[in-house]
Amino acid sequence: MQYKIGSRGSKLALVQTKYVCERLKEAYPEHSFEIVIVKTKGDKIQNRPLHQIGGKGLFVKEIEEKILKGELHMGVHSMKDMPAQPAEGLVFTKAWKREDPRDVLILREKKCLEGLPKGAVIGTGSKRRAYQLQRIRPDLKIVNIRGNVDTRLRKMEEQQMDGIVLAAAGLKRLGMEQRITQYLESAQMISAPAQGVLALEVREDQKELTAMLDRFSDEKTDQAARAERLFMEKMGGGCHMPVGAICKDIGNGNYHMDVMFGDEHGKKIIFACVEGSHPKKMAEDAEQKIRCQMAGVVTLVGAGPGDPGLLTLKGKKAIEEADCIIYDRLAASELLNYAKADCEMIYAGKENHHHTLKQEEINQLLVEKAMKYQHVVRLKGGDIYVFGRGGEEGLYLKEHGVPFQVVPGISSCVAGPAYAGIPVTHRGLASGFHVVTAHNRRGELAKIDFEAMARSKDTCIFLMGLSKVSEIAQHLMEEGMPPETKTAVISKATMPEQKVCSSDLGHIAEEVEKVKLPSPAIIVVGDVVGLRDSLNVITKEIHTQKKCIVPKIGKGTSCLTKLLKNKNIAVREVQVGEICFKEICLNRKKLRKVHWLIFTSRNGVQGFFKNLYQAGMDARNLSGIQIAVIGEKTGNFLKKYGVFADFVPKEFHEDGFIKEFSETVQKTDVVWYAGGTAGGEKLQETLEGICDFHKLIVYENCQVKESIGHMEEDVLFTCASSVERFIKSMDEKKAEYWKKEGRAYSIGPKTTKKLQEMGVENIVQASEAVYESLVKKYFE
């Protein structure tokens, strides 16, 4: 049979493939073997580092595709260039005896690393090599260099580099061992996993070819390569993260493995060593040692049952200190307002089998982020260990060597009934309570001991069981629980949208069906439900509480929201934008020519002063310039920079400002307006005709898309841009309904005009363009 062997076209790749081909020809003369050259994407792009163009798979994808299609029977690669796992349908055969795994220095003039002058230039395309070199010699200048061996040697001469780093194995296979200046031992540089090992890749159904290739395998090399590559896989290593491993036989079936791992930017590099006889166990032990030294802390935080006011103080502190928060659907979105402005936030919600991330992916993400950040928070609704799979996450973190801590949360199983006026225990009625989840992972009714629950006098609580109300009631009655037993179903417990349906066990299913309760819901069965009429004070408070939505710019809690919450209004914030500050050219000469400086927002103030400070100036350089602001709020914010406004209009909106300022400014005055990329058009159009007007773009209001969800509340708008973004974030059907049926509260004329342009019918405008006036109007 004729076998076609795929290879890249570089000199080294062909030398390696020819070596394999010759061995096969000698051993199997009855077959013929042909080398087919395949050009890969990695060969075509030589001017950028691997981590910028896609990583290791770039050298093998085209060959793998041809093997899968049957155009090639096998591929020959360098194992160090291979991803942790081959493409689906392909396998690696057992490793042949490896060549020298060390890295080496080729120096243009000097004889060793220590002899290089300060600031010497070394070329390498590998983060692993670069960061380890700079650990030994921080003064070295590392430059990116890619290409085959001859190309790199040529670039070293042309660019007058002091040296380059290459793999010893490649140079020896090319017969260029004499070019090596210095071998770098593992104490100096740990090489790439499986460096010096050939990767022979075939389709997994090619059993005969696999057996032919395994005839040449070397047991010690195969064990060592497996340990090294398993470590790389566990660390998620690739071209983005520097990872190294070298495993050596130490006799009696045992091995010693040195490993290293670093962060993406080389700020932290960790080393470890392990010994053992089983590759998988050695890789696990090495991973544990590295992560224990390198990982930040993951805090598993219970967010409480829904009401953001039920978050614990310790949970709030964890959120405030977090560098990254991974949160789920049942964690109140308002809690994210406690986070730092630069905190990375990742939604990992799960609802009715519609998962943003699977649990396994969440586990991996926690480990990944712990390697990047000092403090990661996993924010989960309720309590972290009550049907929250927090135990699974904790075990996974423990297994992977990541330290973690737990902040318990108030569970909905007790808080939900309490908010509905139902104590889960009460003297004379229930001395305890049973809590179970109502469904299994397949969405079916869980295996529940209904007999024990029916026999007991304790309160029975079922979580996540809204779709199973009928089945639960039927099973309890079949096991002897009286049909007249009092029962309640609490939807969206502790939230402003909380609804409660009460009945007896025999009729609860039909009553729930009538009112169409939304999930999530809690089912409570027992005599304590009868106390609801007397104890239902919290629900009454919730139902009389006004509710609204506030579109906001940025991650922090808006000033409007704080005012509303002080009035006991249930506020749901929706982020529609974030402020991105822009650089402008400021200098003293230009500034001395300015007569007026206009600010119409706190963002304009902040953006201008950022540029002022960056130019090496401060408020003293504004001496002689008169400052105009659009209203008191902007004026008060300006005071934080030690500057008081000279001009504040009587009416705090654009039209009022233009009218009054036009009567003040002179035609020869140089006027600067510090604003954003959008807005201020009317101001600019008017003032350009009556003075020497210049607009400085110091910020941009960048759009952020956030799911709005249900739309039962009024919406309070503080700017025109929020109007457009808020409406466009809804699907067309929901938007059209809201524009006709919803109610919008506007802070001023400009915002009102935008609402009218967007087709909103019910608009209420504040009497003054300030937050306090908007809140007052909302209460009327």
Distances (CA, A) of 305 to 285, 522, 682: 39, 11, 48
Catalytic, 258? Answer no
What is the rounded CA–CA span in Å between residue 745 and residue 778? 7
Distances (CA, A) of 81 to 4, 56, 244: 21, 6, 13
Checking if the pLDDT of 446 tops 90, the result is no
Checking if the pLDDT of 187 tops 70, the result is yes
Checking if the pLDDT of 224 tops 60, the result is yes
In 3D space, the residue among 398, 133, 140, 142 whose CA is nearest the CA of residue 262 turns out to be 133
Checking if the pLDDT of 54 tops 70, the result is no
Structure token pair of residue 707: 């799911």
Catalytic one of 61, 155, 340, 350: 350
Cα-Cα-Cα-Cα dihedral sign, residues 738, 742, 748, 753 = positive
- pLDDT confidence of residue 537: 77
Region 548-562 average pLDDT:
84
Checking if the pLDDT of 241 tops 50, the result is yes
Checking if the pLDDT of 593 tops 50, the result is yes
Catalytic, 499? Answer no
pLDDT band (50, 70, 90) for residue 753: very high
- pLDDT confidence of residue 265: 79
What contacts 24+ positions apart, CB below 8 Å, involve 748-757? 748/652, 748/653, 748/654, 749/653, 749/654, 749/655, 750/653, 750/654, 750/719, 750/720, 751/717, 751/718, 751/719, 751/720, 751/722, 751/723, 753/720, 754/720, 754/723, 754/724, 755/717, 755/723
Region 690-696 average pLDDT:
93
Nearby residues of 592 by Cβ (< 8 Å), 6 or more positions away:
624
- pLDDT confidence of residue 355: 53
User: With contact defined as beta carbons under 8 Å apart, do 504 and 533 qualify?
Assistant: no
Give the whole-number percent of the chain exceeding pLDDT 70: 94
Three-state secondary structure call for residue 427: coil
In 3D space, the residue among 186, 84, 98, 90 whose CA is nearest the CA of residue 136 turns out to be 186
Is 0.75 topped by the overall pTM?
no
Mean pLDDT score of the chain, rounded to an integer? Answer: 89
What is the rounded CA–CA span in Å between residue 730 and residue 551? 13
Stretch (H or E) spanning 226 = helix 219-234
- pLDDT confidence of residue 353: 46
Lowest mean pLDDT among 189-193, 347-351, 438-442: 347-351
What is the rounded CA–CA span in Å between residue 757 and residue 755? 5
Q: What is the distance of C-alpha 360 from the center of its chain?
A: 15
Nearby residues of 40 by Cβ (< 8 Å), 6 or more positions away:
8, 58, 59, 60, 61, 62, 63
CA angle (517 as vertex; 515, 523 as ends), nearest 5: 110
CA angle (504 as vertex; 501, 508 as ends), nearest 5: 50
Catalytic, 350? Answer yes
Region 442-450 average pLDDT:
85
Lowest mean pLDDT among 143-157, 596-610, 648-662, 699-713: 699-713
Higher pLDDT, 383 or 653: 383
Checking if the pLDDT of 52 tops 50, the result is no
Structure token pair of residue 237: 């290593």
